[in-house]
Amino acid sequence: MDLWKEEREYISRGIRLICGVDEAGAGPLAGPVCAAAVILPAELEIPGLNDSKKLTEKKREALFPVIQEQAVAWAVAWATAEEIDEINILQARLLAMSRAVAQLDPAPELALVDGNRAPQLPISCVTLVQGDGRSANIAAASVLAKVSRDRYMLELAKQYPQYAFEKHKGYPTKLHYERLREFGPSPVHRRTFLKNL
């Protein structure tokens, strides 16, 4: 699998600072959505790097510091449960992505974004469906976003132990629905996701 295929076309045109952008946590009933933006050195090979959904939690955790250490720049940003309820999940995902890109230093020349919708950015943006399996930079961003959000949900599990966030990370599992029915929503639940409850 050649994760540099997408980037190579732009590198050949002299574009060096290419960031990958991805988010985690669009589907859960609770907690924020997390986005990451990463600029890797051109053609950097990180052994085991792949779409975060295809990696075990242990592998993602192992890759997390490697990506941070070897990246030219990286950033993680959030959109809260309140923002998700206010502007809807799609807009919240795009907002978190634009916040992550804005934090990069040096600033990228081009953004490769996972999915088919691009956030508002002051630079050129290319969307790639299933980009986390096609681009090294997006794959790296997918790992940072997923690990960051999972860790955040473990913190929320300490604040709200009755919901067992450590088990489901806020996703709509049978256990999560059972706890919601028993305890009602917490301040970190997305009200617009709970209309059927």
- Where do the domains of the chain lie? 5-153
The secondary structure of residue 115, as a DSSP letter, is S
What are the tens digits of pLDDT across the range 147-197? 999 999 999 999 999 999 999 999 999 999 999 999 999 999 999 999 877
CA distance 121 to 132: 20
In tens digits, the chain (197 residues) has pLDDT values of 799 999 999 999 999 999 999 999 999 999 999 999 999 999 999 999 999 999 999 999 999 999 999 999 999 999 999 999 999 999 999 999 999 999 999 999 999 999 999 999 999 999 999 999 999 999 999 999 999 999 999 999 999 999 999 999 999 999 999 999 999 999 999 999 998 77
Could you tell me which CATH number the domain at 5-153 has?
3.30.420.10
- Of 37, 31, 121, the residue nearest 84 (C-alpha): 31
| CA–CA gap between residue 39 and residue 27 (Å, rounded) | 26
The pTM of the full predicted model, rounded to 2 decimals, is 0.96
Distances (CA, A) of 29 to 5, 90, 98, 125: 36, 14, 22, 29
